[in-house]
Structure 1
Amino acid sequence: MSLCPGYKQVDAFGPDDEYEDEEEVSYVTLDLGSVEPSLLPSSASYRLIGLDTPTPFLQLSGTVLKGQHESLLGTELLFGDGKDTSADRSKRTVAYLASTKQRVCFKEVRLQPKGEGKEKDKEPPAEEDNGRHALDRTTGKQAPPPRKKRTKKKKRKMAPRGRTHQSQRGKATEKEKERRSRLTMLTMTTRR
């Protein structure tokens, strides 16, 4: 007997030969952007998290990168080292591996604890140490000094059109009078 009409209870599935296992392999290239190329070989391990999500993350030796999927206009061909592993670079061969139409572009991000992101007034701690600056995690070289925080300039209040400030009232310049007369001449000629 079944709980729902039209369905029946199955005690056991048939033999595994009846089912087909298909494996689909797709290749995606990873664009690391501004990451220093010397960082890649020095990284003993990496973590790639959420490749099938809209925003995958990659961790290379303490550097965290956030990715975004992009569809390519064309097809990107992927090649690997050929069977002939000669020491001479000019005689090396390459072999076709696969092609792809997707790329994941990564940018470096800085992770912050959950509480710090909401506080706007808190200024980040200075990374200076006795006049020496910290190392840039992307390049591994000395980082430039941090920039000072910009301040907003106060906007000046402008007088409404056709009027001048009190200090300039009555001091209409010759240029202003000339401009007004041109405007009246222009309106007269367009009305005809």
Structure 2
Amino acid sequence: MATAKDNVMPDEDSDEWEEEEYYVLVELSGISHDEFKNSKNCEVIDIDSPSPHLKLDNCIFKGQYKHTVGTAVIFEEGKEKTEDDVPMMNYLCKTVQKLEMERVFLKPKTSASTTDTPSEKLETTDELDEGTSSEDKAMDTG
């Protein structure tokens, strides 16, 4: 789950900015739980577009919005704990939409001309390169 905050322009009569907060349910594929848990940097690009991108450390994801089957209910950890020292969960919000993101890999774009040198630009590909480990291939298929 991700949180996005938007600043909304103030009214003509007001000197204050209004801040809105959105919760986004994100489903990642192509990354292990440990990789996700240990990631330090997260950057979301074009969250409002039909095809947003996400960068987690060196992993790049391309996504699209889809409807969930049923309703996704989102909870947050409360300050109170159960007898077993487990945090109580409090209702936060619900949604019928999610952002499905698949890992993509960058490779050099090859020029359409007859020269053998690739251009400096990069393109994304959903296919795995030959140098990808078998673990990454297994994660991509399921």
With normalisation by structure 2, the TM-score equals: 0.62
Contact 1:46 1:61 in 2 (8 A): yes
Check if 1:77 corresponds to 2:73: yes
Q: For residue 26 of structure 1, report the CA deviation from its aligned partner.
A: 3.2
The letter of the residue matching 1:63 is C
- 1:101 is matched with 96
Check if 1:114 corresponds to 2:112: no
From the superposition, tell whether residues 100 and 23 of structure 1 become closer, same or farther in structure 2 (CA, over 3 Å): farther
Match for residue 40 of structure 1 among 30, 36, 41: 36
Q: Which has the larger radius of gyration?
A: 1
Match for residue 30 of structure 1 among 26, 31, 42: 26
Q: For residue 61 of structure 1, report the CA deviation from its aligned partner.
A: 2.2
Structure with more of its chain in strand, by fraction: 2
Structure with more of its chain in helix, by fraction: 1
Structure 2 residue runs without a partner (length 5+): 1-10, 117-128
Q: For residue 78 of structure 1, report the CA deviation from its aligned partner.
A: 0.4
Structure 1 residue runs without a partner (length 5+): 1-12, 128-133, 145-192
Equivalent pairs counted in the alignment come to 115
- Distance (whole Å) between structure 1 residues aligned to residue 68 and residue 136 of structure 2: 35
Match for residue 87 of structure 2 among 92, 116, 119: 92
Question: SS of 1:41's equivalent?
Answer: helix
For residues 119-139 of structure 1, the C-alpha deviation after alignment (integer angstroms, 9 at most, x for no partner) is: 9xx9xx863xxxxxx646xxx
- Distance (whole Å) between structure 1 residues aligned to residue 12 and residue 99 of structure 2: 41
Q: For residue 60 of structure 1, report the CA deviation from its aligned partner.
A: 1.5
From the superposition, tell whether residues 108 and 15 of structure 1 become closer, same or farther in structure 2 (CA, over 3 Å): closer
With normalisation by structure 1, the TM-score equals: 0.48
- Distance (whole Å) between structure 1 residues aligned to residue 83 and residue 43 of structure 2: 32
Match for residue 48 of structure 2 among 47, 52, 55: 52
Contact 2:30 2:136 in 1 (8 A): no
Contact 1:28 1:101 in 2 (8 A): no
Identity of aligned residues (%): 28
Superposition CA RMSD, Å: 3.6
Q: For residue 15 of structure 1, report the CA deviation from its aligned partner.
A: 3.8
Contact 1:51 1:57 in 2 (8 A): yes
- Distance (whole Å) between structure 1 residues aligned to residue 59 and residue 75 of structure 2: 27
- Distance (whole Å) between structure 2 residues aligned to residue 142 and residue 35 of structure 1: 8
